A and B are shown apart, each in its own frame.
Chain A
Amino acid sequence: MRVQLFATCLVDTFFPETGEATVRLLRHFGVEVSYPQGQTCCGKPADSGGYRHESRKAAEHFISIFEGNDDPIVIPSGSCVSMVKNHYPDLFKDDSRMREKAEAIAGRAYELSQFLVNVLKIHEANLSGKGRITYHASCQLTRELGVREEPLLLLQSLKGAELVPLPYADRCCGFGGIFMAKLPEVSMALADEKLDTVLSTGADTVTGCDHGCLMNIADAIRRRGSAVQVKHIAVVLAEGLR
């Protein structure tokens, strides 16, 4: 099986180790991964502010990069996948040619855990882990994509690690794309509350599928002086490969 990887602009700009971990994971499960070089950003930052014109530009570019073949597109981010699946077609509602392309691309996009569990059918990942992990369920992943069980299934199968449920796991962490910059005080207060719930679990690591969320939580950790680690699920799972 062959897939194309869309790393996402957050991974490419701030967290390249997540992209590397994603590749290692997919290869471990027998998947060939190609990385189209010209990729940039799915357009979500512009979309979250209501900038349709700029979002469309990003979408056009994304489509041009990935339309070369029919391979599934695997993306370590719920919000990017939701952008592609749920919002790309609407961006081209007045352009039937592009809309058709957008719909074709949308049908091939998968969030990482979604791909591992629902396409590769990996329910028992047989990886090793350690410590106590808790999982934050990001908003677009859960409410726009309906991905709720898949990350938990994968995390549960880490031998040696303890997965503890996070109270109010799907309550918003306060990142919200452009929101974190427009209303930073509220964004930080929400991250503080999210951190409170994380601390209540006694976990040493908090994980999730979206770097936007994880960045906001990491900032709360930094401001609090907490020792909790923040790791993307790809990194947590890939660490279990060693």
Chain B
Amino acid sequence: MSTSTQGIPFRTNAAEALRNATLRGAMRNATDTFTIKRADALSGVPVEEWREQASAMRLHVLDNLSDYVDRFEKNAARAGARVHRAKDSQEARERIGSILKDHGIGSVVKSKSMVSEEIHLNNYLETQGVRVVETDLGEYIIQIAGEGPSHIIVPAIHKDRRQVGKLFAEKLGCEYSDDPAVLTRIAKKILREEFLSAKAGISGANFAVADSGSIVLFTNEGNGRMCTTLPPLHIAVLSIEKMIPSLADLPKFIRLLPRSATGQILTSYMSVITGTRKPGESTGAEEMHIVLVDNGRSEIVNGEYREMLKCIRCGACLNACPVYRMVGGHAYGTTYPGPMGIVLTTLLDGMEKANPLLEATTLCGACEDVCPVKVPLPQLLRRLRERRVEEGLTPKLEQTGMAGFGKIVKSPFLFHLGQTAAHFLWPVATKIGPKVALDRLPRPVGKIFGRRVS
């Protein structure tokens, strides 16, 4: 039985991923570890109260999103940054490209940004002759490997140490080692040179603060700080729903984001960057640009799926999802995988392309349990499935089967006739029907004149 013939081939990707023992081991280890760490970090704190407050604050921002974006732009400019609004991926890429071109920048150091993956920034910049150096270790690894991230927090988690060791030996020409400490040191040495010589740095932002015009960056390695304070030019790219009202609101999210993402109380570094270097200061970019990416969000925020925009990109739902745990992020074929990825991708990329992803959930609800801002993921997934049916994008055979179901469910006679027919036709059905479904069911018990036949 085939799934949709158009759109992302999730079933094929998933089946391939399941045959990859290294990947399965890596995903099992990662998701189990994160799940335990998150639970530890959130025990002994009033987590339900925190979640409710964070959710309410995010909803408040979404209710007033365009005001907050305006306010942010005004205050960021007041602090010395130049703010650019990009309607879509292309506009965002081109704006960043032209800023770099205006300054004659040939290479740039970059700290991890999921939205930069969404807009396919790196590939574009390379075509414009700009060398992009990813500096987050996980991003650096996948950049060398020519792959996309498979997890929104730990992009290279699908690789084991031997694979990383081989990759470094092949592409960097160093001696093979599978010791993570050694491999980290190799990357550190190379990237240090890049940091110290870079003329421009690109970063994302975990949050943007409207009242002060600040951006907030959480990292553990220190690469985010390097990219944003060493080069004279800093470009920050972020999507518009990342707004929070003021700095006084930040603690709510500081308490939830690291705990939900990695089980840490706080990441090693959290920087609040407000505009350019002021007179009398010795830290800060001389020139700062902030690119605000819309890419459909100002429409989504007015629609029935708006709660998806509460997401603070912690990755907890990925770690909780039984499907993601089995197959990893690449099977989704998207920028964002896992439960939040299915919803966000469908909203951003459209139902036609993304609809097979709607099959990648058992609607078990584990994601909703762990979301720090209470995004109602199962509800959103259900509603998107309904829309998928309304738009006629489910397989024809399935539609026919369901229509048949709809007809017989109201007629006990037909219903029991169906059961009895299934009983007698079972040997034939299991031969010609979808074996991987029918073979896993017991033989139906039929009824003739109320008497059971089996």
| A residues neighboring B (CB under 8 Å) | 9, 12-16, 37-41, 43, 45-46, 48-54, 57-58, 60-61, 139-140, 143-144, 171-172, 174-186, 188-190, 193, 215-216, 218-219
Contacts and interface: CB of A to CB of B under 8 A. Distances in A.
B327 A50 contact: no
Contacts of B385: 49-50
Given A49-B389, A184-B437, A185-B14, A58 B398 contact: no
Contact of B386 (A39, A52, A181): A52
A46 B326 CA distance: 26
Nearest to B388: A50
Interface in B321-366: 322-323, 326-327, 358-366
B11 A174 contact: no
Interface stretch (B126-134, B161-169, B220-228, B402-410): B402-410
B419 interface: yes
B434 interface: yes
Nearest to A222: B440
B409 A189 contact: no
Shortest Cβ-Cβ A-B pairs, 8 listed: A176-B362, A50-B385, A54-B406, A184-B436, A143-B365, A172-B364, A181-B437, A139-B364
Nearest to A181: B437
27 contacts: A13-B422, A16-B445, A41-B405, A46-B405, A49-B385, A49-B398, A50-B382, A50-B387, A50-B388, A50-B389, A51-B402, A52-B390, A58-B406, A60-B410, A139-B362, A144-B365, A172-B362, A172-B366, A174-B322, A174-B362, A176-B361, A179-B362, A183-B11, A184-B440, A185-B14, A185-B18, A189-B326
B3 interface: yes
B445 A182 contact: no
A9 to B, nearest CB: 8
Contacts of A37: 412
Give chain B's interface secondary structure class.
Answer: helix
B139 interface: no
B322 A40 contact: no
Nearest to B410: A61
B452 interface: yes
Nearest to A179: B362
Nearest to B415: A40
A43 B409 contact: yes
A189 B440 contact: no
Given A61-B410, A185-B11, 10 more contacts: A16-B445, A40-B410, A40-B412, A46-B402, A49-B394, A50-B387, A50-B394, A179-B361, A179-B363, A216-B440
A53 B1 CA distance: 23
Contacts of B175: none
Given A40-B415, A183-B359, A186-B14, A49 B422 contact: no
A101 to B, nearest CB: 16
A181 B434 contact: yes
Contacts of A183: 10-11, 14, 323, 359-360
Given A54-B402, A182-B3, A143 B366 contact: yes
A171 B320 CA distance: 9
A60 B390 CA distance: 20
Given A46-B406, A57-B406, A57-B410, A185 B436 contact: yes
A190 B409 contact: no
A57 B394 CA distance: 19
B361 to A, nearest CB: 7
A188 B409 CA distance: 28
Interface string B360-402: 1111111011000000000000101111111000100010001
A38 B416 CA distance: 10
Nearest to A194: B322
B442 interface: yes
A171 B366 contact: yes
Contacts of B419: 12-13
A9 B419 CA distance: 10
A172 B359 CA distance: 15
Contacts, number: 151
B441 interface: yes
B39 interface: no
Nearest to B32: A168
A152 to B, nearest CB: 19
Contact of A14 (B327, B434, B441): B441
Contacts of B440: 180, 184, 188, 215-216, 219
Contacts of A9: 415
Contacts of B1: 181-182
B415 A186 contact: no
B432 to A, nearest CB: 15
Contacts of B363: 48, 139, 176-177, 179
Nearest to A51: B402
Contacts of B3: 182
A215 B436 CA distance: 13
B367 to A, nearest CB: 10
Interface string B48-88: 00000000000000000000000000000000000000000
Nearest to B362: A176
Contacts of B412: 37-40
A85 to B, nearest CB: 15
A239 B411 CA distance: 34
A143 B364 contact: yes
A53 B362 CA distance: 21
A219 B323 CA distance: 18
Residue from B15, B360, B394, B415 having most chain A Cβ neighbours under 10 A: B415
Interface string B249-288: 0000000000000000000000000000000000000000
A172 B360 CA distance: 13
B232 interface: no
Contacts of A180: 437, 440
A143 B371 CA distance: 14
A53 B406 contact: yes
B444 interface: yes
Contact of B408 (A15, A16, A40, A175): A40
Nearest to B384: A50
Nearest to A52: B386
A171 B394 contact: no
A34 to B, nearest CB: 16
